[in-house]
């Protein structure tokens, strides 16, 4: 009987193999999939953007990879990403709620939600952030306040070597905390420290080998101990922090003048409780806030962290920024986002920091919400589409020196700032980052304040600078120390 079973198994695998080849003919080209493993063996079980860019050289800018039985359509390079995400934006607005993300956020909130919940929660969050002063002076004031705290902290170090990553993430997180919770946290607040540590661990887990294993064998992994359990408990740290803040709001009641995101949300739960399809409830409030916190702290602070590293590595560029800042701004004048128009070189450097650090390892996967056509290929509802955002920022057809730090990418021959279409760090289409404006404001105001106040140098005796990233959910620089010399 064992021989019969083996023969049967082999027969089934061969049948599956031919079935895969049949399905494959209708899809964009790509490596040949095998039963069970799909194309994972050819990819060495790895999955990163450089590999995707290499595959695009072989198979073209739209190609298919297989994760087990599921085809994943990859878009590579600016043109394919833009056309694929904007020709029928609604059709590709679904989110792949993968097993790990389902275990984490249960399909609630904004970032990892899809369909009706996503639409309602996203629309509400955007409207509320606008009410709270996003794009107006109100929120800018918060950013300026945190930038001042950060400058004061660096000053207190008196030019001694320090690792800038914690002070930066502390200041950046405080902006979103002020918006969502209504107050900032002090440097000494232990619960806030724990929250930031949990966030960092969660991002480190993203894209790791164990994360991939969980996505492929969730039924096995959810029963085994390991880093995936640690990562899920990090998410719980965030959730319980948020729930504690909500509880404090509930106890003091909804004020007449709504002060922060929680106030607006609680007020809206009241207002919409009779609507039949309402998704406004405490769970979605918790997960939306988690999303705002995760989206609004890690990414911006990582980008700033890279920015200071690039300034240490390119002292000539640092000096040019400082000359421009000194020429245009008074030494104690408040720096506004509007000032970027008078500071083309500084603005170009901030953009180039974002382009070159390119911190999103591979964009978040989308899902077709109905049958559609993508760049000429018919795709069925439920097909996974992965826009390789990173490839647009390094696209050799769009950038003069894609793999070099070069602020000239954003300047014309007269030194005026020029925006570039292929600059898509916030993604594109219906799932474009909802905090884009806040992030741009923070990056500009923090960066300009730091460079006006300090010259950044390597500590005495250190000569090597590592600008290679550590792979994770976002690409971090290797830990480094620098000296902030007051100017």
The dihedral built from the CA positions of residue 172, 350, 343 and 458, taken in this order, carries a sign that is positive
3-state secondary structure of 173: helix
* Neighbouring C-beta atoms of residue 270, cutoff 10 Å: 10
Nearest to 103 by CA among 202, 3, 245: 202
366-367 and 372-374 as β-strands: parallel, antiparallel, unpaired? unpaired
- For residue 222, say whether it is annotated as part of any ligand binding site: no
**C-alpha to C-alpha distance for 424 and 436, rounded to whole angstroms:** 11
Those residues whose C-beta lies under 8 Å from the C-beta of residue 69, and which sit 6 or more positions away, are: 20, 38
CB of 426 closer than 8 Å to CB of 433: yes
φ, ψ (nearest 5 deg) of residue 184 = -95, 165
Report the alpha-carbon distance of residue 28 to residue 377 in Å, rounded.
7
- Nearest CA among 61, 19, 78, 84 for reference residue 379: 84
C-alpha neighbours within 13 Å on the C-beta side of residue 102: 11
Return the beta strands (E) in 169-300 as ranges: none
Whole-angstrom CA distances from 406 to 133, 314, 350, 354, 416 are 33, 10, 11, 11, 15
Distance CA 87, CA 428 (A): 11
Question: What is the rounded CA–CA span in Å between residue 343 and residue 448?
Answer: 10
Give the number of other CB atoms < 10 A from CB of residue 325. 21
| CA distance linking residue 377 with residue 384, whole number of Å | 13
Pair 187, 170: CB distance under 8 Å: yes
List residues forming the annotated binding site: 433
List residues forming the annotated binding site for heme: 433
């Amino acid at each position: 009987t064992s021989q019969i079973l083996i023969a049967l198994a082999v027969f089934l695998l061969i049948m599956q193999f031919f079935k895969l080849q049949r399905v494959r003919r209708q899809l964009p080209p790509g490596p040949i999939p095998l039963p069970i493993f799909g194309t994972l063996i050819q990819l060495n079980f790895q999955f990163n953007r450089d590999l995707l860019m290499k595959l695009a050289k072989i198979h073209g800018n739209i190609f298919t990879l297989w994760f087990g039985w599921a085809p994943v359509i990859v878009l590579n390079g600016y043109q394919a990403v833009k056309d694929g995400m904007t020709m029928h934006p609604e059709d590709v607005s679904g989110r792949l709620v993968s097993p790990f993300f389902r275990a984490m956020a249960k399909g609630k909130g904004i970032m990892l939600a899809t369909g009706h919940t996503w639409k309602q929660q996203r629309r509400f969050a955007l409207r509320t952030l606008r009410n709270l002063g996003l794009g107006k002076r109100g929120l800018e004031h918060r950013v300026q306040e945190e930038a001042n705290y950060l400058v004061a902290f660096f000053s207190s170090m008196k030019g001694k070597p320090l690792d800038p990553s914690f002070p930066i993430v502390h200041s950046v997180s405080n902006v979103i905390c002020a918006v969502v919770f209504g107050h900032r946290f002090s440097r000494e607040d232990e619960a806030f420290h724990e929250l930031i540590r949990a966030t960092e661990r969660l991002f480190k887990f993203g894209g790791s080998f164990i994360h991939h294993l969980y996505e492929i064998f969730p039924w096995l992994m959810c029963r085994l101990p390991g880093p995936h359990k640690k990562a899920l408990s990090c998410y719980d740290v965030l959730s319980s922090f948020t729930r504690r803040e909500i509880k404090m709001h509930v106890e003091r009641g909804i004020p007449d003048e709504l002060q922060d995101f929680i106030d607006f949300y609680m007020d809206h739960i009241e207002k919409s409780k009779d609507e039949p399809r309402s998704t406004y409830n405490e769970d979605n409030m918790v997960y939306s806030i988690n999303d705002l916190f995760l989206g609004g702290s890690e990414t911006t602070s990582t980008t700033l962290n890279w920015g200071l590293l690039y300034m240490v590595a390119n002292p000539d560029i640092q000096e040019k920024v400082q000359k421009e800042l000194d020429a245009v701004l008074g030494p104690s004048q408040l720096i506004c986002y509007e000032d970027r128009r008078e500071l083309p070189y500084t603005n170009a450097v901030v953009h180039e920091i974002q382009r070159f650090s390119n911190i999103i390892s591979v964009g978040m996967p989308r899902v077709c919400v109905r049958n559609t056509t993508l760049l000429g290929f018919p795709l069925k509802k439920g097909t996974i589409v992965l826009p390789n955002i990173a490839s647009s920022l390094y696209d050799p057809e769009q950038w003069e020196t894609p793999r070099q730090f070069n602020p000239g990418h954003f300047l014309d021959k007269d030194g005026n700032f020029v925006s570039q279409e292929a600059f898509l760090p916030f993604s594109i289409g219906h799932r474009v980052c909802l905090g884009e404006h806040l992030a741009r404001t923070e990056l500009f105001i923090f960066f300009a304040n730091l460079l006006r106040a300090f010259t950044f140098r390597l500590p005495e005796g250190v000569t090597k600078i590592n600008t290679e990233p550590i792979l994770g959910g976002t690409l971090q620089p290797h830990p480094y120390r620098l000296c902030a010399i007051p100017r």
